[in-house]
Structures are given as structure tokens and as C-alpha cells.
Structure 1
Amino acid sequence: MHSSRALLPVLGLLGTGTAWAADVDLTELKASSPIPYYSAPSWSVVGSVTPSFTDNALFSRDNRRSDFFYEPDVSVRLDGNLTDDLSYRLYARAQYDAFAREKDGNAAVARMGARLTENWDGWRFSAIYEHRYDFDGVYRDLAFTSDDVMGSVARDFRVNNVTFSPLLLLTYRFSDLAEARRWRFDALLGIEVRLDPKWSIVSTPLFEAFWFTDGLNRGRQDQIYSADIGLKYSFASNVSITTTVLYEARESNVMVRRYRDLRIGPRLDFAF
């Protein structure tokens, strides 16, 4: 493993490192339970644990390596309402990838952020600020820090036993690493087909576009396409497990940054 100083040029070319080609918080797809604005703020711990197999551990075009990895993702949140329609969230979130063999793929992120959400006629409009630390290895060496400013719009549509949850998200990243500065656009569609009170079929097709603005990445443009399907079992309203097959592809005007990836594994989701 190399030191973080030696890794910085590599991270610059990758833009965001090798982990989490798509790291949108999918829990943002779902509406929060309504809280009267006069209620006290509430604390919660929300997260997931995902052991998975991937056929491209380093997100590489030419150096494909299969491996198993483990990805915990945990947030501590404080939620409250300023009015009946305006809610806020303060949060801290930790997430990492730890590979069984390909240790060069290990990476971690720590984040702190705040979100304001306006509910209007069923739509959710959010403004988000996030301060982020990206690490080489599992919280080993700090690679770079960044500040993300985001705006999103989301809504849930229910048709019989099917819930559609579209989400649009636009982000600009400020960073002390020039190569990490970029615009990012995400479009997701959460789909849940409820089979009975416990079982559901779920899918989240996703499109992402990146426009890098500085350093060695200036002028680089990437697009990520992702499709998955899974079978979800709910132990309770706040604990579920989903077995998923996901295919992801990145296109880029920098040819070496293109890749294909297949991931298979269960994900345990919880909220307390």
C-alpha cells in the first residue's frame, strides 16, 4: 500500500477515489414520518451492512480483479421541524469498503452535514451542505477533504402495490484537491413492488453525470449507468435484508476511466 501523498495523483485522475462510484444516500428516496413542528427533535441511528462480491474491485478498465468486500454505512441523525412543512436534519455518517484480498481498493469516508427539506404538495425540495473527509484505506491516511453543496427534489408515487420514488440531485464539490472539484447530477428511480407484508421486489436504476472543473481532471466528463434488482424481506418496519444483483458501467471522455462492474450480495438495513 502506498502513502496518501503518493496516492494523491491517482485520486486526482479518478476524481473521487475507487470506492462508491455511486454513493447517493438511498434512504433520501423515502419520505420521513411527519413530525409536528412543536415536537422535540428526535435522534436516530440509520445504516446498512453489505457483504458483496464484485468482479472489478479496483473499478478498472484493463485490470479487472474479482474479490469480496464488506461495506458498513452508519449515520447518526437529529431530525426536527421548523414548521409543519419545513424540516431539518443534522447528521454524521461513516462508510468504508474493506476488501478481502485487493487492499488497494480499501477506502473510507467520514461526513458531517445539514439538510433543510420543504414539503410542498407531495414534493420534497431539499438543500444540503456536507463536509467530507476521504481516506486511503479504512480510515488510515487522509487523502483530501471537500465541501458538497447540494439541491434535490423527490416524491413518492403509489400505484396499487407498487411505489415509485424518483429523486433528482445536483451537487457542486469544493475541495482542497483540485482534481476532486466537480459538478455532479444524479437521477434515481426507486421501485418497490410489495408482494405481501414481509416480501418485496426492489430496484433502483440510476444515472449519474460528472463534470470536473480543475487540476488534471479539468474538462473530464463521466457518466455512470446502474441497474439492479433485489428481493427484500422486512423483519420489522425498521429492519430489513435485501439480496441484490447490480450491474454498473462508467463512460468517460478519458478512455482509461471507463469500466464495467457486477456486484452480488445481501444488504442489511436498520434504523433505530
Structure 2
Amino acid sequence: MSFGQGGPYGPGGSQPPTPDWTALADTAARDRRRKWLLFGGGALAAAAVAAIVATAVITSGGGDDDKNASQLPSPKKLPSQSVTPEPRFSDVNPPAPLSPLEIIANGKKDKAPIDAAGLFPGDRAIVKGRSYTKGATASTKDCGSVAQKKLYPALTSNNCRQVVRATYTSDGVAVTVGIAVFDNQAAAQKAKDAAGPFIVSLPGDGIGTFCRNTACRSTSNAIGRYGYFTIAGYTDGSKVPTNDTKARLAGRDVADHAFSRIMQRATAQASAAATASAG
């Protein structure tokens, strides 16, 4: 290998050749430029990638926001808070009040006192314009003691609890009505169906004995837990003939009066129960 002028460098050899400083300087400058170019290009590339990523993030975020915003319900579609409405009085259906007939159908509901003053008030009965004067009244729990013939077993076999009697007179005719009290409607109806003559007549208070051992008119009826029975005849104790109309009409009128008194009792209790319920 040639090293320029002179021999090889070493002991006894010539001096080493002088370096070409100008060439070395040019080479170093080229190396520096190449490094700057590489560095600058890398920086620019990194900046470009960062810009692309930033743009992608912004675009993607905006897209997600728009998409999510389209899926959110508008304020009008947002569910309102559920509120349970307060009960109104009209929404509550109270039990219907008992009718008068329901009250007197059973002794557990029919609780008003039972006596002659309540069933037969005043001193007379007026039915369809016809007036009857009230005589004696009486009440007993020994139902059989005031019944004759077929009426006796009708009362006693159906657990009659009480019989309240009253006598009314008009124009030579006397009528005794007996209201028999049972536990329930079924018992009263059975007694009515099995009944026949006679409730025992009730004299007194100016009315003599009548309808004893002689022909008289009789009726049998029932409403609710009550049976009501009449016997009608002449005040002088004479026999009532088959073609009679006076005793028959009087007996029916007094029976109607007994019916109206029982219903008055029922209506009064129903009204009182309705008032208590409303309060």
C-alpha cells in the first residue's frame, strides 16, 4: 500500500504524510447535513402522524357525540316521575246500606226493642180512611199460650220468641192482631204456611169477650222474621156468617195496619244505620 511520499512510518522511517484537512472538513459537513435531514424528516413525520391522530380523535369523538346525542330522548320524551295519585272519596266504594227488608229478615240485624208501644202506638189505627179504636194490648214470650188449633204448633215448632197483641174495634166489630217474632225469615214463613185458626182474642179496655167458641174470620201473613195473625168477630159475641163482609174487611184492615207498623220499624232502623254510616 502506498502512503504518499517517503517510506512507511516507523523507527528509522520517514515522517507520516500530512492529512488533507479540507477533504476531512467537507466530509464532516456532509455528515452533519445528513443527520439534520434525518432528524428534521423524522420530526416532520412525527408531527404529521400526531396531526392525523389528533384529527382522527376529534372526528371520532365528534361522531360518537352526534351518535349518542341522536340516541338520547328529547326532553319531551324523557319519562316523567311516577306519582301515585291520592285516593279520592269517589274511588272508594263503601258497602251499600242494608234495605229495610234485609234488616228485619234476621234477628242479628233487627235490634230495635219489641213491645206493644212500639208496634201499636197511639189510640187508633186509620187504614184507607177507616178508623179503628185501639183497646187492650199485651205481650208474651209464651207463644203457645195465645194460639189455638193449627196456629199453636205453627208457632211453637218454629221457635217463636214473642207475640205482641192488640185489639181494635169499629162499628160493632172487634179484631185482635198478634205479631209473632221469630229468629229469621225462614222460620216466620214456615209458621205462616202452617198456620190456621186462631190467635186468641184479647178483650179488655171496654171490649168484652169475643170470638170464643164461635165462628170468626182469621188471616195469616208474614214479612221478614215476623208473622202476623188476626181474628175478627162481632163485639156481642155472635157468630160471623159466611156471607159476612164487615168482619172480613175489618180483619184485613187491621192486618194491613200491622204490616205497615212492621215496615215502619224496618225503615226506621235502615235510616238510622245509613245515617251512622254516612257520619
Common fold by TM > 0.5: no
Identify, as 1 or 2, the structure richer in strand: 1
* TM-score computed with the length of structure 2 as normaliser: 0.28
Identify, as 1 or 2, the structure richer in helix: 2
* TM-score computed with the length of structure 1 as normaliser: 0.29
